[in-house]
Structures are given as C-alpha cells and as structure tokens.
Structure 1
Amino acid sequence: MTFDQLEELSAAAMEAMQEGDTAAALLCFERLLAVERRPLYVSCLAYCVARERGEFKRAVSLCKNAIKDEPKNAAHFLLLGRIHLLAGQKKDAIRIFRMGLRHQRSVDIQRELDRLGVRRDPPVPFLRRDNPVNRVLGKALKIIGVR
C-alpha cells in the first residue's frame, strides 16, 4: 500500500467515524492497522469494536494500550470514555473524561461532560452529598458566587 493510499484510507476512516458509520470505519481501521500501527488508529478501532461488536473488554484494553503509547493525547481519553458510556459505565466514563482534560484541553470532552450533566464535588468531600452541611454550604457558596 502506498503512502497516498494510506492517507486516503485514513481520511475515509476518520470521516466515517465523524458521520457515525462505525461499521465502515471499523473495516478501514482494521486495514490501516495491518499496515501501520498508530495509537490513534488503535483507539478509534477500539471504539468501533465496542460500538459494532459489543466487545467492551477488548475495546477498553486496546484504548488503554493507545493511552500508554500517547498519554497526553486527549482523543484517546475521549474514545475510552465513550466506550465506557456504551458499556453503561457512566461513573468510569466521567472519571476518564476528567483525566483526559487534565492532560490536554478538549472541546469534545468538555461537550461530553456537559451533555452528561456532571455534578461538582460536594463542598465537604468526606461527607455524603445529601448531608445537610454539604447542602447548606453548597447553596451558600453558590449565592456568594464562589461556586
């Protein structure tokens, strides 16, 4: 496969992912990885595998390997978080999204967090969220504009 063909296949795979056609993207990423192993291709393949085949353990493993290769790339954290959402693991997804934001600012991750409606940590973290101290203190902090 020539360099131009690789770039063309890569662009087609990314476009298919953007449009939500993960079945077509899955085929493209499998072909790409047979020739060249890039961490971005691995994490994209992981998301496609989770969405199309429901192989969540394999997908999480693939994505974590991509994160090991490129730990500062927020795209891997975005895809891993989405895999956790597909698996019904919202709490883990939020944790992964926040971890990704610590490494690199990402509009897509922030959009996912906003869509999920993530709550802030309680003012006194060692107390439960529904504890009266946290409830009153949280309301007071919001009124004075600190929170």
Structure 2
Amino acid sequence: MKSELQEQMNQGLDEARRGETVLAQIHLEKVLQQSRHPEVLAWYGFCLARNKGAFIQGIELCKEALRAAPDSPDIYLATGRIYLLAGRRRSAISAFNKGLKMGRSDAIVGQLQRIGLRRKPLFSFLDRDHFLNVYVGLLLSYLKSR
C-alpha cells in the first residue's frame, strides 16, 4: 500500500513539474486523501492555480507546505510559479530567490532566466524611463561595460 502511494506521489510530482497539471492533479488528490506531504501540497496548489485559476487557494497550500518544510527549494519553485500565473512577478521573483537561498535548483535558475531581471537604473535618483537612464544604459550596454 505504501509503495502504491509513493508511486502515485512521485508520478504526480513529476507531471506537475513538467506542466502536465491535469494528470498531476488527479494523482496528487489521491495522495492528499491519505497524506499531507509538503511537496504534494505545494504542487497540488500549483495544479489548482493552473487548471482552475484558484490562485489564492494554491498560494495558501504552498504557505502550509512552507510551514511544514521551510527549507525545500522545490516548494518555493511551486510557489513562485503560482505567483507568475497570478501575474505577481515581484512575489514570484522573491519566492524563487528564497528557494535559491535554501539550495541550488536548476529549475529555479531557469525560471529566473526566463523571467529576465532588469538591472538597477544608473541614476537611481531619476526615474527608470528618464532619458539619461535609458540612453546612458544603452551606451554602456553597447560598449559592454555594464
């Protein structure tokens, strides 16, 4: 019985990480009926957010998972992906960065690269869109000194 539950959990987690959330949700629901494993909670929350648009419920499940296992980068990955789905880019970046502090994760690094991070403006006392920040930044990028 335990091995069947473990197999369901592994299959559901793998599918969720690959983005096959409909199948993953089915497997993870079965696992959640018997166990509230933190990673299962987080990835089930991701499946709910992606399949049903239940972003708040998904984030709450991730928060519950983080209370149980605060040092798991994988849970931060799921949390960040939910924030991205919800359009909360800054929260997603924050979650990904916290996950990287817990441990190296190629999946998190890949997410951050896909998002793309902007550098700080050269003249922080001016608005980012101010012509000096824009053109001096372009010039320095062209000269490859930034």
**Coarse TM-score class (shorter-chain normalised):** 0.7 to 0.9
- Give me the whole-angstrom Cα distance separating, in 1, the residues matched to 2:82 and 2:144: 39
Q: Is the 8 A contact 1:26 1:48 kept in 2?
A: yes
Name the structure 1 match of 2:74.
75
Q: Mark the CA change 1:125 to 1:77 in structure 2 (over 3 Å): closer, same or farther.
A: farther
Tell me the CA shift for residue 133 of structure 1: 7.5
- Give me the whole-angstrom Cα distance separating, in 1, the residues matched to 2:124 and 2:99: 22
Alignment RMSD, CA only?
2.4
- Give me the whole-angstrom Cα distance separating, in 1, the residues matched to 2:73 and 2:20: 22
Tell me the CA shift for residue 20 of structure 1: 2.5
1:92-140 Cα offsets, whole Å, 9 max, x none, are 2112212222222211111111111111334665654346786658976
TM-score, normalized by length of structure 1? 0.82
Name the structure 1 match of 2:83.
84
Name the structure 1 match of 2:112.
113
Q: Is the 8 A contact 1:16 1:25 kept in 2?
A: yes
1:33-74 Cα offsets, whole Å, 9 max, x none, are 111111001001000010111100000111011111111111
Secondary structure of 1:80's counterpart equals: helix
- Give me the whole-angstrom Cα distance separating, in 2, the residues matched to 1:97 and 1:63: 13
Tell me the CA shift for residue 3 of structure 1: 1.0
Report the count of equivalent residues: 145
- Give me the whole-angstrom Cα distance separating, in 2, the residues matched to 1:15 and 1:79: 12
Q: Mark the CA change 1:99 to 1:10 in structure 2 (over 3 Å): closer, same or farther.
A: same
What percent of counterpart residues are identical? Answer: 33
Name the structure 2 match of 1:23.
22
- Give me the whole-angstrom Cα distance separating, in 1, the residues matched to 2:125 and 2:29: 46
Structure 1 letter corresponding to 2:117: V
Q: Is the 8 A contact 1:43 1:76 kept in 2?
A: yes
Structure 2 letter corresponding to 1:48: C
Structure 2 letter corresponding to 1:24: L
TM-score, normalized by length of structure 2? 0.82
Q: Is the 8 A contact 1:123 1:138 kept in 2?
A: no
- Give me the whole-angstrom Cα distance separating, in 1, the residues matched to 2:90 and 2:36: 30
Name the structure 1 match of 2:9.
10
- Give me the whole-angstrom Cα distance separating, in 2, the residues matched to 1:103 and 1:122: 29
Secondary structure of 1:119's counterpart equals: coil
